[in-house]
Amino acid sequence: MKWCGRGSGAAHRAKTGAERRRRPRGLTVICLWATLLVTGCSVLPFHREPPRPGRTTLGSPLIILPAETVGNYLIVEAKWDREGPYRFLVDTGTSITLVTPALARRYPGRTAPPSTAPRVPVKGANGEMTELPATSLRRLELGAARFDEVPALIYDCAPLSAHLGIKIDGVLGFPLFRETLLTLDYPGKRVLLQPASSHALVPGTVIGFDDQSKVPLIQVRLGQRTFAALIDSGSDSTFSLNPVGLSPQFAEPPRLGATVGTITAGDRVERLGRLAEPIALGTQIFEQPIVDLTDELSAVGGGMLRHFAVTFDQEHNRVTFHRESRESIATPARRSAGVSFSKTPAYWKIAGVIPGSPAEGAGIRAGELVTRINGESVARWDLRRYEELVAKADELSLTFLNGAAETEPKRVRIFELVP
């Protein structure tokens, strides 16, 4: 796989061809932490229903699943056999579920994948393109919820696991929860499942979403202008904004940021800026948020979603945002060490250096291999620990590999990429 890292987090995703037309942007990997977005090219025509499980059975009117937050992602853990526990990243921005080869072998489906099953092209380690094979998972259990005959793509999650620092067994796409009320409770660090027919009161701001493609595509306001954006829990970013037709004004003008990687489309350099106007999700207001400019469909990422308990009602094509406070939400400055990584357990490879950053001034170049951060082996650093360091420290030191020996540490000042 081809990886790029970012200083804000990352995700994996598989997008169908239809979704890419609706959302030309693939899942991104930004600044210092590698994100794996499996942006896909599907053979599914736009008007067809995304694949859904053959049967969904909820053993309780309310199923509460503890979740782990890594970056701006929610990861649920489930154990239904002796081989578990299994960990899954929930991605509302994709219509495809990904599972590891081991899980696919353990629970092969009884039915063959349909001829319309998507084949997602990805870039292998040798630089050549290959396609993810389609499969059907006989069963998948999340607590008292059981999903049978789940259409999926087989994907080796080892790079994602190495990046996040925990073993990941799959990525759960939006259609998996078609027959449930799905709540991603970020502040409570939990995922809730209820029957789709539940009449339980869900407080908060209710917004209808697109009912044609069955993905959570909602209307968002920028100042007084309205535009479409995808609710994308598989993205670590705050907000990805396509500026075409909106003429956004900036309090902090866009500047080049980290190297952003996608599996299918290679690398790009992000452009980050702070808006002068608010972005509104219904009555929920984000004052002058930092956005990543894109030429693809705008998207609400985990950086915004983490403030809410977000309930998706696919039966009625609506989503509800709930938070205790009614105050508008401020976006803190984006801090960075100026480098992007492709992460492995043994070393972190410099995937990109932000132009004009202290890291560039220190002579750090793309392609170099980092073995230690602040004197400790990179094997002891995971996403959360590194994120906390960048958020609080004034500087860090990086030790590089030079042949068979390590170099003297280079000190790198952490700076505000976007104030």
Name the band, by pLDDT with cuts 50, 70 and 90, for residue 399. Answer: very high
Task: Evaluate whether 351 touches 4 at the Cβ level (below 8 Å).
Answer: yes
CA angle 7, 92, 70 (to 5 degrees): 35
Mind listing the pLDDT tens digit for each residue in 31-51?
323 333 333 232 233 344 555
* Spatial separation of the C-alpha atoms in residues 222 and 240, rounded to whole Å: 13
pLDDT, the chain, mean: 82
The answer for residues whose C-beta is within 8 angstroms of residue 356's C-beta and 6 or more apart is none
At 49, give phi and psi (nearest 5°).
-70, 140
Which pair of tokens denotes residue 311? 């309930």
* Spatial separation of the C-alpha atoms in residues 178 and 312, rounded to whole Å: 9
Stated pTM of the model: 0.84
Task: Evaluate whether 302 touches 73 at the Cβ level (below 8 Å).
Answer: yes
The CATH code of the domain at 334-418 is 2.30.42.10
Domain segments of the chain as ranges: 334-418
Residues in the chain: 419
pLDDT at 298 > cutoff 70? yes
Mind listing the pLDDT tens digit for each residue in 226-280?
999 999 998 888 999 999 999 999 999 999 888 765 544 456 788 999 999 999 9
Name the band, by pLDDT with cuts 50, 70 and 90, for residue 84. Answer: confident
* Spatial separation of the C-alpha atoms in residues 138 and 110, rounded to whole Å: 6
| More confident call, 165 vs 415 | 415
What does the pLDDT average to over 336-355? Answer: 87
Buried b (16+ CB within 10 A) or exposed e, 304-328: bbbbbbbbbbbeeebbbbbbeeeee
* Spatial separation of the C-alpha atoms in residues 360 and 396, rounded to whole Å: 14
**Which is nearest to 292 in space by CA: 414, 386, 418, 388?**
418
Residue type, 121: P
